[in-house]
């Protein structure tokens, strides 16, 4: 993989059809609609309640540093299947190497102006995966912290302090709720 591939995103139409590529930072500066994915690993506890594996983004990420979000989110490379991209990024961010059985959920478009002048404008593919246990070795360049949150805990935290979460997290969580069953 070359560094130019690593730093590009796939631009898409409002219906999610690929339209070309752009440099990642420029796409976020201009607010161009591009392809993304959001993975949520979950498990069911003994009380039958879902628990979600969330990560807190590294403090020096180019945007949304220090905020809590779903297990992993990123951008597929040009011509890279989204499930392959999700597996790649789970390994790069969290050191999760075991094979996972993904369920592809709905896609949604969102646009959020971030506090550093960047704009997230993404066609986001939601991906869920139930796991009973997962070994992790978080990459400190990507992840400041990660832990399991009960469904009740995360929903209460979002009411009490929504500023602790990324701009896209509420949309992802609402779609995961439909997909993840205990």
Distances in whole angstroms, Cα of residue 101 to Cα of each of 39, 55, 131 = 12, 20, 9
Phi, psi values for residue 126, rounded to 5°: -85, 135
Catalytic site residue from 51, 72, 107, 122: 122
Binding-site residues, please? 28, 34, 75, 93, 120, 122
Catalytic site residue from 73, 107, 129, 151: 73
Residue 119's CB is within 10 A of a number of other CB atoms, namely 16
Distances in whole angstroms, Cα of residue 55 to Cα of each of 1, 20, 65, 147 = 26, 30, 11, 7
What number of residues does the chain have? 182
- Cα Rg of the chain, angstroms: 16
Binding-site residues for Mn(2+), please? 28, 34, 75, 120, 122
d(CA 21, CA 24): 9
Is residue 146 among the annotated active site residues? no
Sheet strands (E) in the chain: 8-12, 18-23, 34-44, 50-57, 68-69, 72-74, 103-113, 119-130, 143-150
Is residue 109 among the annotated active site residues? no
Active site residues: 73, 122
């Amino acid at each position: 993989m070359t560094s130019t591939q690593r730093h590009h995103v796939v631009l898409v139409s409002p219906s999610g059809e690929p339209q070309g590529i752009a440099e990642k930072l420029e796409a976020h500066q201009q607010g161009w609609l591009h392809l993304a994915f959001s993975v949520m690993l979950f498990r069911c506890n003994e009380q039958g309640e879902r628990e979600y594996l969330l990560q807190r983004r590294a403090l020096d990420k180019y945007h949304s540093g220090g905020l809590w979000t779903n297990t992993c989110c990123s951008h597929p490379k040009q011509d890279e299947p989204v499930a392959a991209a999700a597996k790649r990024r789970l390994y790069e961010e969290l050191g999760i190497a075991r094979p996972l059985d993904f369920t592809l959920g709905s896609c949604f478009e969102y646009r959020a102006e971030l506090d550093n002048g960047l704009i997230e404008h993404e066609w986001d593919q939601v991906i869920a995966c139930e796991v009973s246990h997962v070994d992790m070795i978080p990459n400190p360049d990507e992840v400041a912290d990660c832990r399991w949150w009960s469904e009740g805990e995360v929903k209460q935290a979002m009411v009490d302090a929504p500023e602790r979460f990324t701009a896209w997290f509420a949309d992802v969580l609402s779609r995961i709720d439909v997909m993840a069953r205990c």
